[in-house]
Amino acid sequence: MLIGKLSFTFAAAACVSAAPVPVSPVTASSPRPAVTPAAPVPEPKQDVNPVRTFEPQFRTGYEPGEATGTPADAIDWLTFDNTSSHADAVPWAMSVYYESPGDVNDRYARIIVDPTDPDNHILHYWLKNAVIDAGYQSHTKGRIQTGFPGHLVDAFEVYASQRIYIHEDFNLMHTYPPDGDPWWLGVIIQELWSGAAWEGHPNPSRINISMYSQNGQMHLQMLCKSGIDSRVFWAAYNPQYALPVGEWLKIEIGYRMGNAETGRMVVVITPESTGRREVVFNVTNWTYDPLADEPGGTGPVPLTHWNPQKLYSSDNVIHHIRDAGGTAQVYWDDFAFSGEWPPAFPATIHPPSAPVKQ
């Protein structure tokens, strides 16, 4: 078995990729048994279940020499040297997309010194004004997101981990008036696409992870839905889990392409203040549009596009935070991913939440 094998790349002429390089598995020898002087000493046996060492195929901490963002005041292109020790590790690049119109007075992504640790650098998303036409009544929206150029190739399974700091200003969402406009009060922080609507795929779909305010706490939800109409294939909520705000968290996600019996989507969160690792979602269900499996359909659709760091919401959210004296902002750090899950992932600590089918 390969160790942290490279299972996918991305298709982009300007970016570096590499073919998989087989890696020999780690082996271990069994200890010699106790023997009497007259007994022969047996040769050590090869361990048939060697311990695997997991190393992601990509890793960055946004430190100088690891990541470069241009232009510096509102990054639209990130290049990474890749600090992973994986045998297949190669440089990677990501774009930062804002959608037009807008400028640095409205939103930006920057690599900055960590406000919580002067010896650390992070990726900072800052979103003050929602200036993009939302296409619904007179509403607007705002967006900052990373994405890989081109599209992912053979991304049937993905594991990713990163640190995320949800800024204290998001606590201002708890003061949103109960009788206020109810349209789109969530904030998407990560999104995975299986087939792209903007590329003309006949059955595009997406899974997004978003946060929302309820009863004075932030919570997470996941939705898997069509990319071209209003069909929702499943929704998952975990109201028992309150998302910590104003501190660093490690968030892990696991994706595995599949149908209602084989598809997987997992979210695990570990606050650094407690070190308590909790499986917030552990869903078995479709990861792509079921219509793709119908006669004449495309067949199973793997992950093709991915926004691993995303801040996307409505004027209702962004302007409520702004008008209350804050700014919608998130810090990101220590991003790593691989084309396979670590051994025993997710190692459930608490009973997983069940998807609510719609």
Q: Is the pLDDT of residue 268 over 50?
A: yes
Report pLDDT digits (tens) over 68-82: 999 999 999 999 988
What is the DSSP secondary structure assignment for residue 323, as one 8-state letter? H
User: What is the residue-averaged pLDDT of the chain?
Assistant: 86
Q: Burial of 277 by CB count in 10 Å (0-12 exposed, 13-18 middle, 19+ buried)?
A: middle
Backbone phi and psi for residue 69, each to the nearest 5 degrees, phi listed first: -115, 135
Backbone phi and psi for residue 237, each to the nearest 5 degrees, phi listed first: -130, 155
Report pLDDT digits (tens) over 324-344: 999 999 999 999 999 999 998
Range with the poorest average pLDDT among 150-154, 171-175, 352-356: 352-356
Domains of the chain: 60-356 (2.60.120)
Q: How many helices (H) and strands (E) does the chain have?
A: 1, 22
Range with the poorest average pLDDT among 26-35, 36-45, 174-183: 26-35
CA distance 50 to 52: 6
SS3 track for 272-298: CCCCCCEEEEEEECCCCCHHHHCCCCC
